[in-house]
């Protein structure tokens, strides 16, 4: 039996003795988006196909199809492009562009932007993939509407409260005491700390204010979780959805989009509450 000598620089099993230094990637301080590529991928709750989440220039998220499509296959009003991690609703002059997933989702009615043959073929492929996921039990379509706030006069905590940050009203993605930091930890996973701390906001009643260009709404008051009395730095921390530990960390990236949606009294009428909820104590941040 001939002896086997490992090559120089390797162990007996062939693994290298010296590993190259690990690259340390950081988010540029001037970057408009701090979201990592790993934090952009998701699955459509209606069809199960992959989507990529990106923030728009107004801060609202949008789900884009993960692959680029030829610009000639999409009408001018349906083209999107990316710049520094932010999605913009027009093309950038190249031969390729991105398209919202809603225009291709098999669950949605056919979109006029997808009337071309290449996009119709792509929509049919997504439909077949959805059928395979359902047949194999890997995906169950979400047929229930999202949970909304209780009726007027209900004093329990809102499932999606309206929060006032820097004099702007936002619709939160979950109850106040469950909002979680979106920053990446040194272990490369999402931070487990919660946003509320020793200086929480306060529930107040404010009039529903129409957005720009909308008709005047009836004179109705709504419950708002107001953070305007907090220092400017604390309000920035809340809007960035970061805990007190990661608020000052400029090198930590985000593993998820901040769950704030600009509040629209017409689109979010189901979440308007006319009475203040019963005061509840915030749960301590997870350690």
- The three-state DSSP-derived secondary structure of 170-216 is EECCCCHHHCECCEECCCCCECCCECCCCCCCEEEEEECCCCCCCCC
| Residue 152 maps to a domain | no
Domain span at 127: 40-136
Q: Which of 136, 151, 185 is the last residue of a domain?
A: 136
Question: pLDDT at residue 251 above 90?
Answer: no
Residue 62 has pLDDT above 60, yes or no: yes
CA distance 114 to 99: 9
The answer to whether residue 48 is domain-embedded is yes
pLDDT at 156: 64
Average model confidence (pLDDT) across the chain? 80
267 located within any domain: yes
**What is the average pLDDT across 235-260?**
87
Confidence of residue 284 (pLDDT cuts 50, 70, 90): very low
Share of the chain above pLDDT 90, in %: 33
pLDDT of 94 over the 50 cut: yes
Residue 179 placed within a domain: yes
pTM: predicted TM-score of the whole model, two decimal places: 0.66
pLDDT digits (tens, 9 = 90+) for 124-144: 999 999 999 999 988 888 765
Q: 206 and 166, same structural domain?
A: yes
Q: Is 48 left (phi over 0), alpha (psi -120 to 50) or beta?
A: left
In a domain, residue 4? The reply is no
Nearest to 235 by CA among 251, 223, 218, 247: 247
Query: Would residue 32 count as lying in a domain?
Result: no
Sign (positive/negative) of CA torsion 57, 63, 69, 72? negative
| Residue 178 and residue 105 in one domain | no
The structure tokens 């930590």 sit at 252
Domain total of the chain: 2
Is-contact 157 212, C-beta < 8 A?
Answer: no
Residue 65 maps to a domain: yes
Answer whether residue 80 is part of any domain: yes
At 158 the pLDDT is 82
Residues 256 and 190 in one domain: yes
Shared domain for 112 and 210, answered yes or no, is no
CA distances from 24 to 21, 35, 188, 252 (A): 9, 16, 12, 11
> Which pLDDT score, from 0 to 100, does residue 286 have?
37
Q: How far is residue 7 CA from its own chain's centroid?
A: 49
Reported as a pLDDT band with limits 50, 70 and 90, residue 230 is very high
């Amino acid at each position: 039996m001939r002896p086997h000598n490992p090559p120089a620089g390797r162990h007996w099993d062939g693994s290298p003795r010296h590993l190259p230094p690990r690259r340390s990637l950081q988010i540029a301080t001037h970057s408009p988006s701090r979201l990592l590529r790993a934090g952009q991928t998701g699955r459509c709750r209606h069809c199960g196909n992959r989507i990529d989440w990106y923030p728009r220039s107004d801060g609202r998220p949008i789900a884009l199809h993960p692959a680029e499509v030829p610009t000639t296959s999409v009408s001018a009003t349906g083209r999107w492009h990316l710049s520094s991690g932010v999605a913009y609703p027009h093309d950038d002059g190249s031969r390729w562009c991105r398209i919202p997933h809603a225009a291709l989702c098999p669950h949605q009615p056919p979109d006029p932007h997808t009337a071309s043959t290449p996009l119709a073929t792509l929509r049919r492929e997504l439909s077949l993939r959805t059928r395979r996921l359902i047949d194999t039990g890997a995906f169950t379509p979400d047929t229930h509407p999202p949970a909304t706030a209780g009726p007027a006069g209900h004093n329990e905590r809102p499932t999606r409260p309206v929060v006032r940050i820097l004099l702007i009203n936002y619709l939160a993605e979950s109850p106040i005491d469950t909002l979680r930091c979106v920053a990446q930890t040194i272990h490369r996973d999402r931070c487990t700390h919660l946003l509320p701390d020793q200086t929480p906001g306060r529930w107040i009643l404010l009039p529903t204010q129409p957005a720009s260009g909308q008709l005047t709404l009836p004179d109705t008051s709504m419950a708002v979780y107001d953070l305007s009395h907090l220092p400017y730095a604390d309000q920035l921390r809340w809007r960035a959805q970061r805990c007190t530990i990661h608020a000052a960390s400029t090198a930590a990236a985000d593993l998820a989009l901040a769950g704030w949606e600009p509040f629209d009294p017409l689109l979010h009428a189901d979440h308007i509450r006319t009475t203040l909820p019963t005061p509840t104590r915030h749960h301590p941040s997870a350690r």
